[in-house]
Structure 1
Amino acid sequence: MRIAFFVTYFPILSETFILNQITGLIDRGHEVDIYANQPGDRDKMHPDVERYRLLDRTYYIPEFPKNLFFRLLKGLGLVFANLSKAPLVLLRSLNVFKYGKEAASLWLLYLTIPLLNKKPYDIIHCQFGTDGLKGMWLRDIGAITGKLITTFRGYDISTYIQEHGEQFYDKLFAAADFFLTNCEFFRRRVIKLGCDEKKTVVHGSGIDCSRFVFTPRYPSPDGMIRIATTGRLVEKKGIEYSIRAVAKLAKTYPNLEYNIMGDGPLRNNLQQLIQELGVSNIVKLLGQKPQQEIIEILNKSHIFTAPSVTAKDGNQDAPVNVLKEAMAMGLPVVSTYHGGIPELVEDGISGFLVPERDVYGLAEKLGYLIKHPEIWHQMGRSGRAYVEQHYDTNKLNDQLVEIYRHLLNFGQEQPREQEKLVSSMYV
């Protein structure tokens, strides 16, 4: 199959779930091209980006000037330079009566340029709801062909809905051939918003379990208890609350070490909070780390916490991959009743869940794990087994190919066959 992936940025270290899909499809003999708005992390790339030469398969939208005059001037140059390739497509991209501000701003024209003269695709897979809109417009003007699939992953079905209203995806729900969500929590949400449940299934974000070696957890000979968190330093990750919880525990357990891996706009705020709480010797903001360094730090850790919260702008998490990675490595976890996380963490079995923003709850469950190291091993084993069963990227990539083939074989014109596929995914 020829498959086009639409993403916002590429490559991005934090989006290994997309990278795993791309490399998995290539390993299975399929041809994958990547279309991105802008380059992502060129300085810190996942090794698979180079190993699979993915930048050779990646096409970027021409730089989009903010200044309207320069945008128009450049747009005219793009039209004249490419008119012979697909004149009707370029003219349709400028149809302001049908496409409104997307055409009037020249955004649709700029989106079209990387696709000119490309061979037809079998599948157009848009990795976020906002990318789905791009795929919908481009297919409608004839810039690309193929079955259109959109995956909803988090901010696109939470923050965007709060900002733009519940009708934001109505046209996409009507136009696309199939939809995936990365958890049941978001599947229920898209159905409530008007997406046909007969063409919507949960397809989780996978991890390569072979890269995250299970290690039984036992107390360290030096007596230290090492807690870890991985995540962007943004509001929805809730890291403020785990810092406060650890600060409470430090009064009883001075042998704590809390390592936070990740970067983001709240770094200075969190550093100030650490200083105000007097735990600079215990809590460390380590910054963004490549995957191998994260694994090394997790190998030395005893407990993992991911205290996610619903942000003020409505942003929510699915079952986050950093939790899956920690569980795959045998770490007992403490997280929150938030978004899709309860679909991953079984409370009392692979870890503990507490309400969002509950500092006392976090401190209590972390304290319980510190007091009872004898349960670390079994919780870690339970977490590993659950991740292997539900989130192994190889199983999920096989499932993804099955979804693609189903759409090519049956498509929208046979709704009974689509219903069978949806039903089979929940057996």
Structure 2
Amino acid sequence: MPGHVIMIVRSWPRLSQTFILDEVLAMERRGRELTIVSLAHSGEQRRQPQVDKVRAPVRFLDVGGFRARWSRISDHAHVLTTAPMRYVATLVHVLANPGLSRGYATCSAIRCFDHAVVVAALAFRLRRSGARAPHVHAHFAHDPALVGMLTRRLTGVPFSFTAHARDLYQIPPAGLVARASAAEAVVTCCQVNADYIAKTVPDAVRPPVRVIHHGVELDRFTPTLRAPGPGLTLVSVGRLVEKKGFADLLRACAALAESGSRFRCEIYGDGPLRRQLTELSAELGLGELVSFRGERDRDEIAHALARTDVFVLTPCVTDDGDRDGIPNVLVEAMACAIPVVTTATGGVPELVRSGENGLIAQPGDVDGIAGHLAALVADPALRRRLGESGRKTVESEYDVEAAALALEAVFDPRTPIAAEVAP
């Protein structure tokens, strides 16, 4: 049987983080036993229906009250008595290096140490129960990876992490080097991220960096026959935040309307910019051409994609470095054989090859975005050709089952827990 994986996430369950949910379910289908450790509850009212299919227990670390405090004290005592040298050395390391949590973070370094002790106690108990030596894997390079790194120092268990987008680019290089140098491997979703890691982490301490695309369930997102109507339906999905570039999309829709194209655009998602974007839509005179549909779960998004003619997402890099890797919604739309219009941000050009399986403009190029949309509105044959090519791309490169298989090499535990060995 494969070894147990302790997966550390920032919060659970997050509506937008379908890539983590898909990964968990795919690994469980392959017989992998997991425990999810979430640094915090997501606090979201809506969640994906597929969360109910997850078998893994979830340990939340933001729980208050007497029982939670006593449990944490017990975990500290357990780790201290099991590996006293490691416990003291790791605590001294954290106190001497408070900058480990600089940059994009919500926890201090000492708080991450406190969380890591809980994970370490879990790892020791799993080993004592007779389970194969666990592997600790963190999703996101900021707080979760720091907790995973400290767990590695406390226990000696193998540790890896997946770096995504903001979490990778908004922590200081020294913090990334510290996390990577303690890891068995670093996983990321696109080559541009891998190149950044290779440039930032010196060869002497850099572990293998694996590019594993976030896959989708090919039997869930499938092509459907879309009935022709009086105008085309454009759909976009994403959190209403700056890096998604929705302001550029609205301006492109205004240019498209001026050209006389018949369409309507539906935007799914919510976020801090909703009011600003609805006001911009009104200022541009878009009226009923653009509708904001709010947050939706994956089943509702799949239903929307079934009646979509063109999918559009126009991300950009913000002034503070926030950006996307490869947005899963683009992969899902292409899996449905929907032609896509997008921008060359992050890892998007690794997925979408302009003119072959979609159309790409430069970030912020409103005229270019509008031109691509106009071309697809006017040409059914182009829509069909790009859509079919997009489906083939996803089938060959973005299957969630293939991604789970690739992760097996990362999660195969090779290092036993060491109780009293200097870190």
Question: With structure 1 as the length reference, what TM-score do the two structures score?
Answer: 0.85
User: Any unmatched runs of 5+ in structure 2?
Assistant: 102-107, 128-132, 417-423
Q: CA deviation at 1:184?
A: 0.4
Q: CA deviation at 1:296?
A: 1.3
Which amino acid in 2 is paired with 1:213? T
Question: Could you say if the C-alpha distance between residues 289 and 109 of structure 1 is closer, same or farther in structure 2, counting changes exceeding 3 Å?
Answer: same
Which amino acid in 2 is paired with 1:358? D
Question: Could you say if the C-alpha distance between residues 113 and 93 of structure 1 is closer, same or farther in structure 2, counting changes exceeding 3 Å?
Answer: farther
Question: Could you say if the C-alpha distance between residues 129 and 29 of structure 1 is closer, same or farther in structure 2, counting changes exceeding 3 Å?
Answer: same
Instruction: Name the structure 2 match of 1:25.
Output: 27
Highest RCO, 1 vs 2 (Cα 8 Å, sep ≥ 6): 2
Answering whether residue 145 of structure 2 is matched by residue 150 of structure 1, we say: no
Report Cα offsets for 1:60-114 as digits up to 9, x if no partner.
114489xxxxxxx999866655565333479737965321247884542244236
Which amino acid in 2 is paired with 1:112? V
Instruction: Name the structure 2 match of 1:133.
Output: 146
Question: Could you say if the C-alpha distance between residues 93 and 25 of structure 1 is closer, same or farther in structure 2, counting changes exceeding 3 Å?
Answer: farther
Q: Give the Cα separation in 1 of the matches to 2:387 and 2:282.
A: 32
Answering whether residue 208 of structure 2 is matched by residue 199 of structure 1, we say: yes
Answering whether residue 421 of structure 2 is matched by residue 408 of structure 1, we say: no
Q: Give the Cα separation in 2 of the matches to 1:307 and 1:224.
A: 21
Asked if structure 2 preserves the Cα contact closer than 8 Å seen for 1:62 and 1:113, the reply is no
Question: Could you say if the C-alpha distance between residues 106 and 323 of structure 1 is closer, same or farther in structure 2, counting changes exceeding 3 Å?
Answer: closer
Asked if structure 2 preserves the Cα contact closer than 8 Å seen for 1:303 and 1:333, the reply is yes
Which amino acid in 1 is paired with 2:166? Y
82, 93, 101: which one aligns with 1:98: 93
Q: Give the Cα separation in 1 of the matches to 2:250 and 2:207.
A: 43
Question: Could you say if the C-alpha distance between residues 20 and 75 of structure 1 is closer, same or farther in structure 2, counting changes exceeding 3 Å?
Answer: closer
Instruction: Name the structure 2 match of 1:348.
Output: 355
Which amino acid in 2 is paired with 1:59? R
Asked if structure 2 preserves the Cα contact closer than 8 Å seen for 1:13 and 1:41, the reply is no
Mapping 1:57-206, distance limit 5 Å: 57-63=57-63, 80-82=73-75, 84-88=77-81, 92=87, 97-100=92-95, 101=98, 105-113=110-118, 115-117=120-122, 118-120=125-127, 121-130=133-142, 131-142=144-155, 145-158=156-169, 160-161=170-171, 165-194=172-201, 196=203, 199-206=208-215
Which amino acid in 2 is paired with 1:230? V
Q: Give the Cα separation in 2 of the matches to 1:51 and 1:393.
A: 16
Q: Give the Cα separation in 1 of the matches to 2:145 and 2:112.
A: 15
Question: Could you say if the C-alpha distance between residues 7 and 110 of structure 1 is closer, same or farther in structure 2, counting changes exceeding 3 Å?
Answer: closer
| Comparing 39-48 and 394-403, the one that deviates more | 39-48
Question: Could you say if the C-alpha distance between residues 242 and 25 of structure 1 is closer, same or farther in structure 2, counting changes exceeding 3 Å?
Answer: same
Question: Could you say if the C-alpha distance between residues 353 and 28 of structure 1 is closer, same or farther in structure 2, counting changes exceeding 3 Å?
Answer: same
Q: CA deviation at 1:199?
A: 0.8
213, 217, 240: which one aligns with 1:208: 217
Question: Could you say if the C-alpha distance between residues 53 and 44 of structure 1 is closer, same or farther in structure 2, counting changes exceeding 3 Å?
Answer: farther
Q: CA deviation at 1:25?
A: 1.3
Q: CA deviation at 1:280?
A: 2.2
Asked if structure 1 preserves the Cα contact closer than 8 Å seen for 2:116 and 2:148, the reply is no
Q: Give the Cα separation in 2 of the matches to 1:347 and 1:285.
A: 28
Q: CA deviation at 1:258?
A: 0.3
Question: Could you say if the C-alpha distance between residues 51 and 193 of structure 1 is closer, same or farther in structure 2, counting changes exceeding 3 Å?
Answer: same
Question: Could you say if the C-alpha distance between residues 347 and 297 of structure 1 is closer, same or farther in structure 2, counting changes exceeding 3 Å?
Answer: same
Question: With structure 2 as the length reference, what TM-score do the two structures score?
Answer: 0.86
Question: Could you say if the C-alpha distance between residues 175 and 95 of structure 1 is closer, same or farther in structure 2, counting changes exceeding 3 Å?
Answer: closer
Q: How many residues align?
A: 392
Asked if structure 2 preserves the Cα contact closer than 8 Å seen for 1:173 and 1:195, the reply is no
Q: Give the Cα separation in 1 of the matches to 2:308 and 2:338.
A: 8
Q: Give the Cα separation in 2 of the matches to 1:135 and 1:341.
A: 28
Secondary structure, aligned partner of 1:86: helix
| Comparing 303-312 and 168-177, the one that deviates more | 168-177
Question: Could you say if the C-alpha distance between residues 267 and 136 of structure 1 is closer, same or farther in structure 2, counting changes exceeding 3 Å?
Answer: same
Q: CA deviation at 1:45?
A: 2.2
Q: CA deviation at 1:300?
A: 1.1
Question: Could you say if the C-alpha distance between residues 408 and 97 of structure 1 is closer, same or farther in structure 2, counting changes exceeding 3 Å?
Answer: closer
Asked if structure 1 preserves the Cα contact closer than 8 Å seen for 2:157 and 2:415, the reply is no
Q: CA deviation at 1:41?
A: 5.4
Question: Could you say if the C-alpha distance between residues 75 and 109 of structure 1 is closer, same or farther in structure 2, counting changes exceeding 3 Å?
Answer: farther
Which amino acid in 1 is paired with 2:26? G
Secondary structure, aligned partner of 1:205: coil
Secondary structure, aligned partner of 1:151: strand
Q: Give the Cα separation in 2 of the matches to 1:397 and 1:84.
A: 36
Q: Give the Cα separation in 1 of the matches to 2:404 and 2:184.
A: 19
Q: Give the Cα separation in 2 of the matches to 1:135 and 1:83.
A: 16
User: Any unmatched runs of 5+ in structure 1?
Assistant: 66-72, 411-427
Question: Could you say if the C-alpha distance between residues 140 and 225 of structure 1 is closer, same or farther in structure 2, counting changes exceeding 3 Å?
Answer: same
Asked if structure 1 preserves the Cα contact closer than 8 Å seen for 2:49 and 2:297, the reply is no
Asked if structure 2 preserves the Cα contact closer than 8 Å seen for 1:182 and 1:203, the reply is yes
Secondary structure, aligned partner of 2:304: helix
Instruction: Name the structure 1 match of 2:372.
Output: 365
| Backbone CA RMSD of aligned residues | 2.7
Which amino acid in 1 is paired with 2:93? K
Question: Could you say if the C-alpha distance between residues 290 and 195 of structure 1 is closer, same or farther in structure 2, counting changes exceeding 3 Å?
Answer: farther
Report Cα offsets for 1:204-228 as digits up to 9, x if no partner.
111111101112556x23x111101
Aligned residues with identical type, % of pairs: 27
